Structure 1
Amino acid sequence: MKIDDYKLLLKLNEIGTIRGAAKAILISQPAVTQRLKYIEEYFGEPIFIRTSKNLVLTPAGEMILDHANKIITEEKTIKNALAQSSGEVQGSLSIACSSLVSQRFLPSILGEYTNAFPKVTIDLVTGISEDIKREHKNYHVCIIRGEKLKETVSELLFEDPLYIFDTEPFPSNKLKERPLISFKSDDSMHELVDNWLYHHQQRIKPIKMLRVDQIETCKQFMEQGLGMAVLPKSVSETMMDEYPHIPLQLDGNPVTRDTWVCYQEGVRNLPQVDQFLSAVLNEKFL
């Protein structure tokens, strides 16, 4: 059994389908099926029951998955210990990153990092900050939006001002009534917008809400004239010359979506983590 086999089992259990796991790890569905068949033959027990909707762990599968978790954890531990003692930057680096940051900023950072330290194995998870916060202890580094993680070392990367956009002007002398398009985000983002709307209800009144899954979809809906959208500067700066917009402000201060890098005390003793954090903290984001 290889480490990749154990990782495959964990991915199959996480996603719940062979097709989904194959897509996530960028190999063909038949290859995943064949690999799972080999692993089950190796252990002599079925690991999953195949149903019409998803994969269900068998009792034997639960024991094997527990074993897989231990093997992968031990592998990471020994790699990190070797990296720390050798002085060479190697080992594993686990990162959980907000979807917006991972799309907009992380590729260039990781590109330079992997070129400089090719022996480092990177495990990257992206998603909503709220979900990352719940699982933050499973990662070396978390990059999140909104509130910082109080039980970690948290350093501010940048403040991201919010703007409300539309294809129609924002009149200063009458109430603007338009649909409001929002994208899937954590509660802190929605609270910022709701609070600003409450303090500006004499000027802007959403007549209905349109909710979409991603920020890019939200932008496209706004561009098609379907309504207003509140967007951070980091993804909307190129739109400012083309579409009417106003900054979100309260008491003369900009309403911002803060981005933090968070990590556990002592994790910078690992050279691969320290080098990545240095790269992130030296980046000019906006």
Structure 2
Amino acid sequence: MKIEDYELLLKLKEVGTIRGTAKAILISQPAVTQRLKYIEEYFGHPIFIRTSKSLVLTPAGELILDHASNVIKKEKTIKNTLAQSSGEVQGSLSIACSSLVSQRFLPLILGDYTSAYPKVAIDLVTGISEDIKREHKNYHVCIIRGERLKETVSELLFEDPLYMFDTEPFPENQLKERPLISFKSDDSMHELVDNWLYHHQEAIQPIKMLHVDQIETCKQFMQQGLGMAVLPKSVSHGLMDDYPHIALQLDGKPVTRDTWVCYQEGVRKLPQVDQFLSSLLSREFL
């Protein structure tokens, strides 16, 4: 059994389907099925029951999945211990990062880091901040948007001001009624926008809501004149000069979407983590 086999079992349990798991780990569905068949033959017991909707763990599967989890934890522990005792920066670095930050900033940061420390293996997961917060103990470093993560060391990376864009102007002393386009994000983002709209309902009134999956889709819909969109400054490059916009403010202060880097106390003892955090915290983002 390889570590990758144990990781596959945990991913199958997490996703719940062979098809979804294949998509998540970027290999074919038949390849996942074949590997699962090999693992079940190795242990001599079925691990999952295939139903029409999802995979269900068998009693033997529950024992095997517990074993898989322990094996991976021990593997990470020994790698971290070896990395900490070595004078060279090596080992593994696990990062969970907000999708926006991973698209806008992380490629350059990781490019510089891997050039400086080529022996470090990067394990990167991207997604919505709320999902990352639930699984934060599985990673060395979490980069999230919105509220800071409790029970961790949390350091502010940058404040990201919010702007409302449209293809139509924002007239003074006149009610603006337009559709509002929103993108998939965590609740804290929607709360910021809803709170601002509540305090400015005499000036702006959304007549309907259009929901899209990604922030880039939201931008494109706005550019096509389908409605207003609230976007952070970090993704508004090229829009400021071309489209009418207003800054979201409350009591004279900008409404911002904060970005935090969060990590467990003591994790900076690992050289590969310490070097990454030092690089991250020394950067100018906006």
CA distance in 2: counterparts of 1:198 and 1:24, whole angstroms: 39
Note if 1:208 corresponds to 2:208. yes
TM-score in terms of structure 2 length: 0.96
Q: Name the residue aligned to 2:26.
A: 26
**What runs of 5+ residues in structure 2 fail to find an aligned partner?**
none
Identity in percent: 86
Q: Name the residue aligned to 1:272.
A: 272
Q: Deviations over 1:161-191 (max 9, x none)?
A: 1000111111113110011111121222112
Give the residue type in structure 2 aligned to 1:127.
G
CA distance in 2: counterparts of 1:23 and 1:116, whole angstroms: 32
Deviation at 1:282, TM superposition (A): 1.8
- Cα contact 1:76–1:91 (8 A) shared by 2: no
Deviation at 1:61, TM superposition (A): 1.1
CA distance in 1: counterparts of 2:224 and 2:33, whole angstroms: 43
Q: Name the residue aligned to 2:165.
A: 165
Give the residue type in structure 1 aligned to 2:90.
Q
Q: Name the residue aligned to 2:95.
A: 95
Q: Name the residue aligned to 2:70.
A: 70
TM-score in terms of structure 1 length: 0.96
**What pairs with 1:151-162 in structure 2 (closer than 5 Å)?**
151-162=151-162
Deviation at 1:17, TM superposition (A): 1.9
Secondary structure (helix, strand or coil) at the match of 1:226 reads: coil
Deviation at 1:226, TM superposition (A): 1.5
Q: Name the residue aligned to 1:150.
A: 150
Deviation at 1:137, TM superposition (A): 2.0
Q: Deviations over 1:114-146 (max 9, x none)?
A: 222222222222222122222222221111111
Note if 1:11 corresponds to 2:11. yes
Alignment RMSD, CA only?
1.4
Moved runs in structure 1, 4+ residues, more than 4 A? none
Note if 1:189 corresponds to 2:189. yes
Deviation at 1:66, TM superposition (A): 0.7
Task: Say how many residue pairs are matched.
Answer: 286
Deviation at 1:102, TM superposition (A): 1.1
Deviation at 1:28, TM superposition (A): 2.1
Secondary structure (helix, strand or coil) at the match of 1:239 reads: coil
Give the residue type in structure 2 aligned to 1:205.
Q
CA distance in 2: counterparts of 1:75 and 1:115, whole angstroms: 25
CA distance in 2: counterparts of 1:130 and 1:9, whole angstroms: 24
